[in-house]
Structure 1
């Protein structure tokens, strides 16, 4: 890209020069610069070239003055990138303390600030430093790109601390605005289930399936657990029947789900109906 810009600049310069020669071929003009007893006489062509030479000289001086600063900035960028890489390696390798130290140093580079903050938060979470998590989340909240992510991570902490209601209050607005990530949807499912609202959580299961964030076996166990919780949380026969009718055939054929439905039917005195429903699947 730099080569093409230089080529374009040379082309424009050549065209302007040719145009100037054409316009001034008969008369080179006259320029007089006078200040007090000092007077400078020259032609327009010479004045233009002198002006361009002076500008080029100023640019060269400015470039030379900035050269040490550019060298220092280049070194700082290399150092930040190296620390970011070291921090990520330490995080994956199970050394969250070192990871946090290196990643926080990497945040000094503007282009790496947000990725480094996200990874540093993961390191703080891994070592159980909740105070550091909160501090990093405050910084992530300030950036528009990571505001929603910070909200979801706060909700996760609320859920882990046993405050599922607070987590729901944070995540539902994101879901309503279609800005909830698949991982956020998983935390919302867990929070709703913890508040005995597993029936509402079922609406978010397709997001979990589509995201492929869980291995097949783990996904099957997760879905089964939520479906069982939804069945166990039904309050009467009408709700149980409506829930069972909403499940697809594959969900009804999950052993744990069918057993949970049978047990809840017994508790609600729906033995005959439950037997027919299970046989129909």
Structure 2
């Protein structure tokens, strides 16, 4: 999502914007670099949902998210979509729940990795429906989706882009969106709220953060420019129509509140479901 901002920010700020990918350790490496950067307004970070979960998943973080970093703008939210294999013994959310209750531990679900949004949202589904399903972590979404299409696993939650074409081709079935509103890119897929599980909300999201100590006026300026670009018709429509992502563009204060709420929510799920990274 950072690349959607690159051209617009360069024009608005009159400065070259260099995007440096720092993958690894569930995004800890990149976040730590931002946290330890000089607060001069030249280094910002774009974090994903793992940023909130990591506070609970890792007992010892190399940074203090509450003291070392500040929110700049919530950029976008992409609700997860539940997909089931075509040979699964259930075709709807209610059938899934009924089958899982009748066969404890027999329904397996894939994820892109332990502690991922897909993993935690399915754990939330288990908690809300009082079902017992077995987690199968993969090294990324691609192999999980491959096994879903092949019938090796019956259930997998993922953002819309990876699921749209397999669903259109009839290789998987989409049964629910973990949001309170339907997606423009998948208008026929009902939300879990419509199916009687309004608390089942889970997504991948992107937010811009900065090292603590960056002058407030710089944070405010960057936040305003990000919001302007994200909310522009060209970008927002592209996000919704091709990515299944709701364009946000929040204030720094709203960003901080969102991250705090996500941290608390998923921390509770992690503790109750006894999620570990082992």
Larger RCO (alpha carbons 8 Å, 6+ apart): 2
Report which of the two structures shows the higher radius of gyration computed on alpha carbons: 1
Task: Name the one with the larger helix percent.
Answer: 1
> TM-score band, normalised by the shorter chain?
under 0.3
TM-score, length-scaled by structure 2 = 0.22
Task: Name the one with the larger strand percent.
Answer: 2
